[in-house]
Structure 1
Amino acid sequence: MDELVAKLVTSAMESAGLNKDQLADASGIARVTLRRRLKGNGWKIEELEKVAAALGAEVADFVPRLKAAA
């Protein structure tokens, strides 16, 4: 699941024209933490909320189960 979330975040990041460092800065997440998460290492909901806000998205856009339930 974490790998799928990472792929969806990466896709949204690229669509927004941002690189990892820019997304880290925009979301307030440490660069090293964001890089780990984008490798599929355990997202926290608080991190997804920050990333979603930075990308103008919803957390459900990155978590398929939430999107299906909505």
Structure 2
Amino acid sequence: MIIHDMGKSLKIVTLLEQKLKEYCRTDYKIKVYPGQVHGFAQCKPEDMRPKDVPYIEEARMDLLEWLNRTL
């Protein structure tokens, strides 16, 4: 599972990671993207801010890699 969500505080991200370690039975990776909101990688091209494009591309690649590895 890959989680990209800057809307969560560091405390919540830490709690999430503890719960994943305890209960998750598949591999996962937590990444925090500065200044991004939940679902930022699903933006339509016309809604993308140029400074966010590298984050969007990285998040999409992470998702594809996880799907290929897991499915």
Instruction: Tell me the TM-score range normalised by the shorter chain.
Output: under 0.3
Which structure's CA Rg is the greater one? 2
Using the size of structure 1 for normalisation, the TM-score is 0.26
Higher relative contact order (CA 8 A, sep 6+): 2
Q: Structure 1 or 2: larger strand share?
A: 2
The structure with more helix, counted as a fraction of residues? 1
